[in-house]
Amino acid sequence: MSNQIFGNVKNIPTQTLPHSATEEEVSVDIPSLVNRKTKAATLKSYLSEAGGFSMHLWNRPKIGRLPSGEMFLYDGDHRRHLYKLTHPDATKLPAVVVDVSSKEEIHKLFVLENKKNRKTLSANEVFVHEVRSGAADSLATEGHLKRCGLTVSLGTGEAGSVVGASSGYLGQHQKPMEVTINGFKKAVVDTNLNSVITAAQRLQIMWQNDHKIQAEFLGGLARVYKNIHDLNINKTLKSPFINFLNDRKTGLKGMNEVAAYFKSKGGTKVNYIEDCIALGIMDSFKEDLKYTKALSPKTWKKYFGVYRNQLKDKLDRV
């Protein structure tokens, strides 16, 4: 850091927000409030780089204290475990304790602490905490996830670490699939929510025991449903298309393998993967019809031809 500030400081907000924070000692086992996975490899890396635990480098974890007196760690899980590992007899942990009004405020503090300042924070982690903090945009997106039967997870398996649907499309006996939040948002923006819902339902029916949905596949299939009108309603189209998808699953098994197949058929253009998957789906369907005779070439062209050619022209230009 420099001794002076470079750039225009006139528009920097300088007001100090009301706060109450103290340096205290708390239990080394103080619970975290929906934090990220604490990874042994990360702890090993920290200690190896420093040559051991050093108070010169270690910063106090931050704790939120509710009006009831209940406290939760919201920043510094790795630092807490570094301290525990290197101080095995310690029962107390040096920490910064801030007084908060609610658990929602703790989640807001987590996002503010991590979202802009730490590159290691994933989009999924930010999103889960934004939902838990009551952020309006994120709550709206969570509503979209629920309609799709999908979730976003921190991957810890802990209470509160998953947001979105409580069950999959097929009901309470099916666990909802996880999706990456950026991939999900992209699918909705690039198409529309109804098309993503239809695509998500189809993939959940096909792979009922999978835990994760392939976001690019979701976006590619949603493109087809958006642009091929009545594909999920017109019985002339719906049954042959579903049978085609099921046949590809039977031959290639996994969702990732089927997505990769369609992507390859569509040209595998970087930054246009969903478009490639959509094109691959339509071209593969056309090839399949030569053997199944489920649709005539004329019928396929009537419904798929225009969008297929538009997409092919788009990808040929990139």
Chain segment 27-40, per-residue pLDDT in tens: 999 998 877 778 89
The pLDDT of residue 1 is 37
The pLDDT of residue 120 is 64
The tokens for 107 are: 């989640």
Task: Write out residues in the chain with pLDDT < 50, as ranges.
Answer: 1-2, 119
Q: Is 211 exposed, middle or buried (0-12, 13-18, 19+ CB in 10 A)?
A: exposed
DSSP state of 16: P
State how far the Cα of 222 lies from the Cα of 206, in Å rounded to an integer: 15
The pLDDT of residue 2 is 44
- Give the length of the chain: 318
The full DSSP string for 45-60 is: HHHHHHTS--TTT---
Chain region(s) in the chain for CATH 3.90.1530.10: 21-101
The pLDDT of residue 4 is 64
The SS3 call for residue 300 is helix
The pLDDT of residue 151 is 97
Cα 294 to the center of its chain, rounded Å = 37
Strand 177-178 relative to strand 150-153: parallel, antiparallel, unpaired?
Answer: parallel
The pLDDT of residue 286 is 96
The pLDDT of residue 21 is 84
The tokens for 51 are: 């040559």
The pLDDT of residue 103 is 92
CA 271 to each of CA 51, 125, 237, 268, 318: distance values in angstroms, whole numbers, following the listed order: 42, 24, 30, 9, 10
The SS3 call for residue 294 is coil
Chain segment 39-56, per-residue pLDDT in tens: 899 889 888 888 899 888
How far is it between the farthest Cα atoms of the chain? 78
The tokens for 288 are: 């399949």
The pLDDT of residue 3 is 57
Per-state percent for the chain, helix, strand, coil, to nearest 5: 50, 10, 35
Domain 21-101: top CATH class: alpha beta
The pLDDT of residue 160 is 86
The pLDDT of residue 100 is 92
Residues 6 or more apart from 280 whose CB is under 8 A from it? 220, 261, 262, 263, 264, 265, 266, 267
The pLDDT of residue 116 is 55
What's the pTM value of the predicted model, to 2 decimals?
0.75
Task: Answer for the pair 164, 145: CB distance below 8 angstroms, yes or no.
Answer: yes
The tokens for 34 are: 């929906």
The pLDDT of residue 118 is 53
- The position carrying tokens 């920097």 is 12
